[in-house]
Structure 1
Amino acid sequence: MLASVAATLNPGSLPATAIAHGNRTHLDHIQSIPSRGLCFPLVAPDNRTLNLATTVKCGGKVETRSVRTAVAAVDSLDLAEKEQASNKYYFVVANAKFMLDEEEHFKELMFERLRLFEERNKEQDFWLVIEPKFLDKFPNITKRLKRPAVALVSTNGPWITFMKLRLDRVLCESYEADNVEEALASNPTVINFPEPEKWTAPYKKYESGWWESFLPPKTA
């Protein structure tokens, strides 16, 4: 079974040093398996992790690396990719009237997520930006927006996708910025919604200004 797994990883390259002794199998060496492609340990029938090695060419030099070394290299690469991707921001945007005054579920979703982050001691990664400056990069979006506009911005792409589906009447995109201050920069705008002449719902309307808890922190 183990031999077939190794052969699948690199057909035709299984060496003769893979031999069976009773119920124990030793796979001492496998040649030419790419270290990035092999990123999981193999386990023997008796639950022992096999000491699997791979021979790779690195700048013309032949090196033998263990699976653990290969996995560490892959993890380091993945970490670098994540750090590079940390400059990417995702957002949904709509006019302020819809986002802050008409869509009643939006406030509930925002405060529920804030509560979740506080319980788990997680750093907040989502903000509301009124009249964000980054909208200048998206003329196809701005021409469809009533102003003033409000964007929900986050570094969490899948969550923003969820919010797009949940809110429905919003536009969704992403952009990159060198730092969070640049990413959340906004144009000074006063938001004020008049009280409705007639309120028929059995519950009290949300008070104006509830969104201030989610605005980016002010910088000196």
Structure 2
Amino acid sequence: MYNYYFAIASQNFFINQEPIEEILRERKHYYENNNKDIDFWFVINPNFIHHSREYRLSSNISNSLAAIVSSDRYFIQWLKLRIGFINTGSFKSKSMFIPN
């Protein structure tokens, strides 16, 4: 089983209110400089949220969500501290995460 961690918020919040593009670009640059494989994804309308016990959402709400998914729990914890107004959680998968 693979463990994944996520930070989730509205698409509007991630795209228009927070500098998420800059944050992810800086993270990517950090990974490249340290020869690490990219282990995070920005996902619009994440399907995994429908299977999460923590989040029972209507389809109208889930269609306006975005998530940052990573196999690095500490990166998601750092995002929560950095951004603040997001929810976090985790899920397990039998296969590697492939963003939709």
Structure-1-length-normalised TM-score: 0.41
Aligned-pair identity (%): 28
CA–CA distance in 2 between the matches of 1:91 and 1:166? 14
CA–CA distance in 1 between the matches of 2:9 and 2:51? 16
Alignment counterpart, residue 122 of structure 1, candidates 31, 36, 44? 36
Letter in 2 for 1:91: F
| TM superposition shift of 1:141 | 2.7
Alignment counterpart, residue 74 of structure 2, candidates 126, 151, 158? 158
Question: Residue in 1 aligned with 2:65?
Answer: 149
> For the aligned residues, what is the CA RMSD?
2.0
Assess, with a 3 A threshold, how the Cα gap between structure 1 residues 166 and 185 changes in structure 2: closer, same or farther.
Answer: same
Structure-2-length-normalised TM-score: 0.84
CA–CA distance in 1 between the matches of 2:24 and 2:99? 20
Letter in 2 for 1:166: R
More strand by share: 2
Secondary structure, counterpart of 1:92 in structure 2: strand
Question: Residue in 2 aligned with 1:98?
Answer: 13
Q: Is the 2:5–2:69 Cα contact (8 Å) retained in structure 1?
A: yes
Question: Residue in 2 aligned with 1:108?
Answer: 22
User: Comparing both chains, which one has the higher relative contact order based on Cα–Cα distances under 8 Å and sequence gaps of 6 or more?
Assistant: 2
Secondary structure, counterpart of 2:37 in structure 1: coil
Which 4+ stretches in 1 moved above 2 angstroms? Answer: 138-147, 183-186
Q: Is the 1:129–1:184 Cα contact (8 Å) retained in structure 2?
A: no
Assess, with a 3 A threshold, how the Cα gap between structure 1 residues 175 and 166 changes in structure 2: closer, same or farther.
Answer: same
Question: Residue in 2 aligned with 1:167?
Answer: 83
Assess, with a 3 A threshold, how the Cα gap between structure 1 residues 125 and 136 changes in structure 2: closer, same or farther.
Answer: same
Alignment counterpart, residue 131 of structure 1, candidates 45, 53, 68? 45
> What CA deviation, in whole Å up to 9, does each residue of 1:148-199 have, x standing for no partner?
211100000011011012111111100011222xx3343xxxxxxxxxxxxx
Assess, with a 3 A threshold, how the Cα gap between structure 1 residues 116 and 93 changes in structure 2: closer, same or farther.
Answer: same
Letter in 1 for 2:15: L
Secondary structure, counterpart of 1:141 in structure 2: coil
> What CA deviation, in whole Å up to 9, does each residue of 1:66-113 have, x standing for no partner?
xxxxxxxxxxxxxxxxxx6xx100001011111112112x22211111
Say which is worse superposed, 120-129 or 134-143, in terms of deviation.
Answer: 134-143
Secondary structure, counterpart of 2:36 in structure 1: coil
Q: Paired residues, what number? A: 98
Q: Which has the larger radius of gyration?
A: 1
Q: What are structure 1's unaligned runs of at least 5 residues?
A: 1-83, 187-220
CA–CA distance in 2 between the matches of 1:168 and 1:92? 10
